[in-house]
Amino acid sequence: MASINVENVTIDFPIYGAGRRSLRQSLLARTGGLVRREGNHMQHILVRALENVSFKLEDGDRLGLIGHNGAGKSTLLKALAGVYWPDAGAIRIDGRISPLFTAAPGLDLEDSGQENIKTCGMFLGMSAEEVARKMPDIMEFCELGEYLDLPVRTYSAGMITRLCFAIATSIDPDILLLDEGLAAGDARFANRAEHRMNGLINRTRILVLASHSDAMIKQMCNKGILLEKGKVLALGSVDDVLKEYHRRNDELAAPAAE
């Protein structure tokens, strides 16, 4: 069984050379996190990206991360992937994790399409044997034919997107970490891509998805977390958390009472 247990996780990012007040305010606006000063003369500036975040996920859970830019969604995904280490608290994970923050990590424009299938597949956590077993399916799905023998630099943007999508959606993770979703290419390709993405989600035991799309969150997730400035404001069903998110947005957008 797969599981994720996040207990009181806090993550701080130190900011160097940011002593001026104008720069401090700029950091606050850009990150959305809490900016703090530490040290004997308050000269050390930290951005608190996550503060005291806790939740548990088990087989079958599909969690949507909801919030504005700078709320902490991407930081939380990267903490789950092991890119960031908590300054406080703990993250305990059982199961094979596949983070899809970029569709094709390791893509080399000078290598051929087939060579990139091998390289990107291994960057995504597949063994050489697994890549070899899945190679025919990836080649068939991306529909690039003889172009797969040519350097990727000769491809159009749409062809690169199709190759990357085919590779990324061939994985078999226990836990899938997905940031915003994957581009699928032109309209003709989109229907096949949607079915393939649904297949990836269905064979994943746990999904954690960060997205600004209500429709994507509702389609893919059964739980939601609302983050703001690194703190959890709401945790529960997708409908309830989205309702709270929009309620807060409406309050901020409402004109101040006279």
Instruction: Pick the more confident residue, 111 or 42.
Output: 111
Work out the percent of the chain whose per-residue pLDDT is above 70: 84
- Residue 149, class by beta-carbon neighbours within 10 Å (0-12 exposed, 13-18 middle, 19+ buried)? exposed
Question: Using CA atoms, how far apart are residues 99 and 257, in angstroms rounded to an integer?
Answer: 45
Distance of CA 237 to the CA centre of its chain: 20
pTM score of the predicted model: 0.81
> For the segment 100-147, what is each residue's pLDDT rounded down to a tens digit?
876 677 899 999 999 999 999 998 889 999 999 999 999 999 999 999
Averaged pLDDT, 66-89: 94
Instruction: Pick the more confident residue, 239 or 253.
Output: 239
How sure is the predictor about 181, in pLDDT bands with cuts at 50, 70 and 90? low
Question: Using CA atoms, how far apart are residues 113 and 130, in angstroms rounded to an integer?
Answer: 17
Q: Is the pLDDT of residue 41 over 50?
A: no
At residue 32, the pLDDT reads 56
Provide the H-helix boundaries in the chain: 21-31, 73-81, 113-123, 128-142, 157-168, 187-202, 214-220, 238-253
- Residue ranges and CATH numbers for the domains of the chain are 3-95+212-253 (3.40.50.300), 100-204 (3.40.50.300)
Averaged pLDDT, 42-66: 90
Q: Is the pLDDT of residue 153 over 80?
A: yes
Q: Is the pLDDT of residue 51 over 60?
A: yes
Question: Using CA atoms, how far apart are residues 53 and 235, in angstroms rounded to an integer?
Answer: 11
Contacts of 116 (CB under 8 A, 6+ apart): 104, 106, 107, 108, 152, 163, 167
